[in-house]
Chain A
Amino acid sequence: MRKISGIQSTIEVLSAIAMKTLRYYVRYPGAFLLYLVMPFLFTLLIFGMGGFVGGSEATTYFTARTGTSNVLIYEILGSSVWMTSWVVVEDVGVSLRNEQMTGTLEQNFLAPVNRFTFLLGLSLADIIITAGIFFIVVGSTIWLMMPTAFLGLLQAYLVLLLGLIPLFGIGFLFAGFVVRFKEPYTFVQIVNLLFAVLTGTYYPVTVLPYWAQFVSRVLPQTYVISDMRQIILANERLVNLYGGIFVLLALALAYPIVGYAVFKHLEKRASITGDFSKY
């Protein structure tokens, strides 16, 4: 039996894991539908609350604080980035948890695949899922409401792609918690809700208290949302947004390293305590 090695085997492993994850999405399509509907529902919620608080002056206040009167695009961009980050942060950990519950995690860990490749494979599927969410949710909204900005979509997606890398790092961190402590949902959902509060999902981060703004500066979604809005709503070019891009690049380096180091530490503990097979 011939075996492959090096980059060819890594590509084969990554595509096998991504394909398996996608097959599961296709055969359990409910989650994907939820991810598609949620950004619209949250945007509607913000519309309702804005109207209730601001009354007939709501749009005026909104424009004064954000610099745009296009409330729908502004909010849908925030919503879709939040949903994307939700998928990425939750999915790696929850996938591992599901594998642990169904008994397949041990089967994967028995194979001669290093853990980083395994986690990366799970993340790759998410890139495809999030691309789907982004292009359907944001693409359809822009196409209907602001067709002139449609060309900016690709640049906006490049920013999102860059922002996904640090998010995968956060996902690896949660994956470690899952392997060691089980019960991923509590951590992930609290953190994902905090992300919505802190990263300018529905309002500019400048309305936050100073300490919260400081926290928002180390979260990748803050830069992704802000740069996307600049590209789509202010017709800004990606190259001119180098400040945010530079920070995203730095976060893209730091978060995966920290996330994977924590994962490896907790995984090592789990192999001592025998936690891989415990529910």
Chain B
Amino acid sequence: MNPVDVQSLSKTFETKEGPILRKTRRSLTAVDGISFSVPKGEIFALLGPNGAGKTTTVKMLCTLITPSLGDAIINGFSVVKEQQKVRESLGVMLTGERTLYWKLTGHENLQYFAALYHLQPSDSKERIEQLLKLVGLAEREDTLVENYSTGMRIRLSFAKALLNEAPVLLFDEPTASLDPQSSHLIRDLIRDLKREGRSIILTTHNMDEAEVLSDRVAIIDHGKIVQLGTPAELKQKVKTSEVIEIEARNISKQAVDAIQALSGISKVAFSDVNGEKPVLRIHAERGKEILPRILELLVREKTAITNVSVIEPTLEDVFIEETGRSLRD
């Protein structure tokens, strides 16, 4: 049996919306019948844009949210029926830095959670020192967490997830808001954990992270898994296309529609992270041949082009192929 076996897991939230006294009930399906397994020693990524259902999935796996339908078996225990056993089998790092006690020191935080995970007090002392050293916080163990940088807090949160040496680890956006150096450290540590035989599920909306770190990736959108496979397998699905990436300012909707209408173009996705970096990703059968026509069209639409490249497909292109949208939308 695999350490993680997810069977048709679904979650529907009932919400009330509208002004007071005229509120109406609404159902929102955050996760819609997903199934997957994670064998021992595998890194499995759930990749998708914000709101795709990744965090809800993780919260169901770690017993914080009760599934509406389906079940997941963690280390042989059901998340619906055997929650305490599931909790014993898991190390979890939820997203964000506010998962720690800011008025406690780094050492005190780990000491507290070591007790909650029933570690033998004599062993926990050694384990805490080992983990603090591992995440580079040994020198700052007696500093209050409120005086840590964001990166330090996330590293401490990561160490907390490793306290109980659980066979299954869940990391929700483990490198979000980290500097490149800390991200690199966390990714290396995740690879070491895989080598130790842990089963690791991580959620990310960073396609590069999913690609370099994961053995298999499930691309999730609107609560459903739209593609599942190794990064290489998934990218093969868009291999017939070349990908043209155009960075530009003032990209109009008319321009996007006009490009989409050109023959030989299969998909066009536009993303603009925080209004700072508008990017067009265009899937075409013969990208280099069609590029002059695309550029001519953009110039005619008075688009200020800053960079153009023809690249190999990435996991983002798998997502575009499936949904017609960019991961960064």
Q: Which of the segments B100-108, B227-235, B249-257 contacts the partner chain?
A: B100-108
Cross-chain contact A12 with B62 (CB below 8 angstroms): no
Q: Mark out the residues of chain A between 252 and 279 whose CB falls within 8 Å of any chain B CB in the assembled complex.
A: 268, 271-274, 276-277
Q: Give the complex CA separation of A273 and B96 in angstroms.
A: 21
Cross-chain contact A271 with B115 (CB below 8 angstroms): no
Q: Which residues of A contact B84 (CB under 8 A)?
A: 112, 114
Q: How far is the CB of A175 from chain B (nearest CB, A)?
A: 17
Q: Give the complex CA separation of A23 and B116 in angstroms.
A: 17
Cross-chain contact B119 with A3 (CB below 8 angstroms): yes
**Once A and B bind, how many residue pairs between them come within 8 Å at the CB atom?**
106
Cross-chain contact B119 with A1 (CB below 8 angstroms): yes
Q: Which residues of A contact B63 (CB under 8 A)?
A: 109-110, 271
Decide yes or no whether B81 CB sits under 8 A from chain A: no
Residue of B nearest to A269 (CB): B66
Q: Which residues of A contact B104 (CB under 8 A)?
A: 20, 23-24
User: Chain B 106-148 against A: per-residue CB contact (8 Å), 1 yes, 0 no?
Assistant: 0010011101111111010001000000000000000010000
Decide yes or no whether A239 CB sits under 8 A from chain B: no
Q: Which residues of B contact A111 (CB under 8 A)?
A: 87, 113, 116-117
Q: Which residues of A contact B102 (CB under 8 A)?
A: 102
- Max count, chain A CB within 10 A of own CB: residue among B85, B99, B112: B112
Decide yes or no whether A207 CB sits under 8 A from chain B: no
Cross-chain contact A102 with B98 (CB below 8 angstroms): yes
Decide yes or no whether B165 CB sits under 8 A from chain A: yes
Q: Give the complex CA separation of A227 and B49 in angstroms.
A: 63
Q: Which residues of A contact B120 (CB under 8 A)?
A: 1-4
Cross-chain contact A110 with B92 (CB below 8 angstroms): yes
Q: How far is the CB of B142 from chain A (nearest CB, A)?
A: 13
Residue of B nearest to A274 (CB): B65
Q: Using a Cβ–Cβ cut-off of 8 Å, how many residues does chain B contribute to the interface with A? A: 41
User: Chain B 48-71 against A: per-residue CB contact (8 Å), 1 yes, 0 no?
Assistant: 000000001001001111100000
Q: Which residues of B contact A3 (CB under 8 A)?
A: 117-120, 164
**A20 touching B101 in the complex, CB below 8 Å, given contacts A1-B164, A111-B113, A274-B65:** yes
Q: Give the complex CA separation of A274 and B12 in angstroms.
A: 10
Residue of A nearest to B144 (CB): A27
Cross-chain contact B56 with A112 (CB below 8 angstroms): no
Cross-chain contact B103 with A23 (CB below 8 angstroms): yes
Residue of B nearest to A26 (CB): B103
| Contact size range, A | 35 or more
Decide yes or no whether B276 CB sits under 8 A from chain A: no
Cross-chain contact A103 with B118 (CB below 8 angstroms): no
Interface residues of B (CB under 8 A from A): 13-14, 56, 59, 62-66, 84-85, 87-88, 90, 92, 94, 96, 98-104, 108, 111-113, 115-121, 123, 127, 144, 160, 164-165
Interface residues of A (CB under 8 A from B): 1-5, 9, 12-13, 15-17, 19-20, 23-24, 27-28, 102-104, 106-114, 268, 271-274, 276-277
Closest 10 CB pairs of A and B: A16-B115, A103-B98, A111-B116, A112-B87, A2-B120, A9-B118, A112-B88, A1-B165, A27-B103, A271-B66
Q: List 22 A-B contacts (CB under 8 A).
A: A1-B120, A1-B165, A2-B120, A3-B118, A3-B119, A4-B118, A4-B119, A9-B118, A12-B121, A13-B115, A13-B116, A16-B111, A24-B104, A104-B99, A106-B64, A106-B94, A107-B99, A107-B113, A108-B116, A110-B92, A111-B113, A112-B116
Q: Could you list 8 further interchain pairs (A-B, Cβ under 8 angstroms) beyond the known A274-B56, A274-B64?
A: A1-B123, A20-B101, A23-B104, A107-B99, A107-B100, A107-B160, A276-B65, A277-B59
